[in-house]
Structure formats: structure tokens, C-alpha cells
Amino acid sequence: MYWLKRSFVLLAALLVVASGCDDPEDAATDQDSDGSAESEESNQESSSNDGDSQGQTFDTQYQRFQLIEVADSLENPWAVAFLPDGRKLVTERPGRLQIIDDGEKREVSGVPEVYAHNQGGLLDVVIHPEFEDNQWVYLTYSKADDGGDQTATALARGVLDGEELSEVEDIFVQDRYSSTGRHYGSRLAWTNDHKLLMSIGDRGADPPRAQDLGDHAGTLLRLNDDGSPAEDNPFVDDDEALDEIYSYGHRNIQGLIVDPETDEIWATEHGPRGGDELNRVEAGKNYGWPTVTLGRDYGSQEEFAHTEARTMEGMEDPFYEFLPTHAPSGLALVTGDQFDAWQGDLLAGGLRSRRIRRVVFDDEEVLHEEELLLHEIGRIRDVREGPQGNIYVLSDESNGSLYRIEPGN
């Protein structure tokens, strides 16, 4: 039944997404599914502080919207977070944190030193759920070891004081440094009980690390706000497992959202060639990588190294496979009233596919997909729902921008 369902999904995807084949830039065997070579990755809100509200209007299947450029000249922006006063925090991968206020950028000092190479650099940013009381900002980044030639995914916390981060400290660093500059994962999301979820990719060079519960690579972590493991995590009583791990067998999660009503965790992650996944993540579950994948080897398109099957008992099949390749990054759940026709849908950004895919689903399966902004703004790195219901999007370019999507007339 699963394979019959997948056949129908494949047919639907090919009909909906006209681009079909992979981009030409994806032909090299050392490239990741985001289209980057291993050596280079390649209703207006009155309190939004977003500046001019003029933008381009788009008609979609159910919703007309406006696309408004909020800020430009951002160098490979990676993530956006929202401050209570309407300003935005945006990370730039080379190592800068910007405050966006009325379309103007102001750089925040005190950011940790990052290893800005390949896919590494300054990555995700979130604020604490009680930010107005503690002013805590959380950043993930690629951290170099003392020798400077190996890196790990790290989580830092600091106090935002004007345009400065103070009291900055690493509150979590993955247990093992490695040489490849890929697959840092690094998305953050808060659960309803104020636990912090953090993804770490398999780090690229040794995929079977994702099956090792004694290794943080290829996992989703669940942490207290001080970086310590949540005491009710699924493996805290297992002496051979790391206490921080919530789920494992992930390749590289770069889209992560928690449903505020149900507390369900949704994640999008990169496959190799094909095999990009949407997963509903549950405690203690094994999501298969690399033992199980629907993707293929980059060069030969044969079965990926270390893969034993396309599905296997004891390992979770993806809730949905994006076809053709999407290279997902950034994920939003539409919860507000701004977009009635999209309420309850997921918006999944795509790097190589250069589009957002609106995903309509029920408890068991994806029912419908629609593509938005196809090749309009370039590679899409982040998609977030703002505090007043508008959707914010970052384009991952050397001269990238922050955009706001709001309902159109």
C-alpha cells in the first residue's frame, strides 16, 4: 500500500512541478541535494517595522498575496527571528547578526566566532519564549576546534542589550568534531513546554554516524533552555546513548516547526539525489538514514552507499517524499487568520528548487501540493510565520533579501 501511495504521489508531483530534472549545477558527484558543491554552498502589520508596503502581487490557487522586500544586501542570510517590538533578527552565514528595523540593518556585536566555510557559519537564531523577561537570544553555528581544521555544531546563548550580545556562552557543543564542512543541520524550535529542539546533520563524511546513539550527528536533540538534556528524553536511562537525543537516523534537518496546538514536531530534511523528506518526528524513533532512504547516489544514481533497503521494519518511513528534489530549508505552519485558505498548511522552502511548496495534509498523508514563488527570488533558505500571521522568507544569495508575504487585494 505504501508503494502504491508513493506512485500516486510521484505522478502528482511530476504534474504539479514542471521543472522535472535536477538543475545542471547538480551534476557533480560531490554535491549535496541543496545544489551546493562540497567546497562551496553556492494586511500590513502596523508594528512590523518593515518599512514600505509596496510589492508584487501573485495569484495562487486559493490565495492572492503580495511579496514585499523588507531588507536587501544580506550576505547568505540563514534565519530570521522576531523581537517583541516588531524588529527582526537575521543571521548571515559569514558570521554577522543583523537587527532589521524599518528596512535598515544594524549589526549586533558580541556574536561568537564562527567557521564560515562551505556550508558552515552562523546559522539559526531564536529568542527565548520569555524574552521580555530575560532578553536571551540563541544562535547555532559551526565551531572550529583548537587546531582550526575540524568543526562541530554549537549552540550559544547571549543577552541582547541594545545592539550587543553580552554574557555569550556556548551552552551545547556536539560531542565529536569532524573535518567535513557540510551537514550541520542546525534548526531550532521551542516546544510548548519550553524545551529547545536542535537538529544536527550527519556531517557528511561518515553517514552511519546517524545510526549511533553514542554520537550527536544525524539527530534531533531536546534541551532545557540552559543547554542541558531534558530529563524525560527517551534515552536518558540508556548508558550507551547520549541523553540529549530525541530522535535519530536523520541526514540533515533544515526545516523544523512545532504545532502550537498539538505540540507535534514537523521536520524537513535533505536526502541525497531524491529522498528529500517531510517527517512527523516522535520521541525515540529511528528515521532510517543511511540504512534506509528513498534517495540515490549522486553520480551513479544507484543505491546509496550504506543503504540496505528503501523501507525497513523498526525504521520510520517518511511522512512524505518531495519529488522532484526540493532541497528543503525553512518550514512554517500557517496558524493565523491572515491566510484563511492556507490555515493548517505547511510552507516548505526549497534551495535548489527555488520555490515554496504549500503542503496540505491530514493525520495520515499529504493530500495536495501547490508551488509558490517558483524561481522568483532564488534559493529559499528560511520560511517563518510572523507574530501577526504574515509569512517571512529569506533568499539564500550572496546579495540576499528578507521578504514578507501578506494577503493581496
Which residues are known to be catalytic?
183
Residue 53: its pLDDT value, please?
54
Question: For residues 185 and 281, what is the distance between their CA atoms, to the nearest angstrom?
Answer: 15
Whether 41 has a pLDDT exceeding 70, the answer reads: no
Would strands 253-258 and 245-248 be described as parallel, antiparallel, or unpaired?
unpaired
Looking at 49-63, 76-90, 213-227, 254-268, which range is the least confident one?
Answer: 49-63
Residue 245: its pLDDT value, please?
98
CATH topology of domain 51-407: Neuraminidase (2.120.10)
Question: For residues 38 and 358, what is the distance between their CA atoms, to the nearest angstrom?
Answer: 29
Instruction: Identify the residue whose cell numbers are 550559544.
Output: 156
Whether 39 has a pLDDT exceeding 80, the answer reads: no
Phi/psi at 111 (5° precision): -70, 140
Q: Residue 305 is which amino acid? A: A
User: What DSSP string runs through 142-192?
Assistant: EEE-TTSS-EEEEEEEEEEETTEEEEEEEEEE-S--BS--------EEE-T
- Which positions ≥6 away from 239 have C-beta within 8 Å? none
Phi/psi at 159 (5° precision): -95, 125
Question: For residues 80 and 90, what is the distance between their CA atoms, to the nearest angstrom?
Answer: 5
Phi/psi at 295 (5° precision): -85, 175
Please answer whether residues 217 and 248 qualify as being in contact, where contact means their C-beta atoms are separated by less than 8 angstroms.
Answer: no
Q: What is the pTM of this model?
A: 0.90
Would strands 151-161 and 136-144 be described as parallel, antiparallel, or unpaired?
antiparallel
* Percent of all residues in the chain with a pLDDT value above 70, rounded to a whole number: 87
177-212: pLDDT as tens digits: 999 899 999 999 999 999 999 999 999 999 999 999
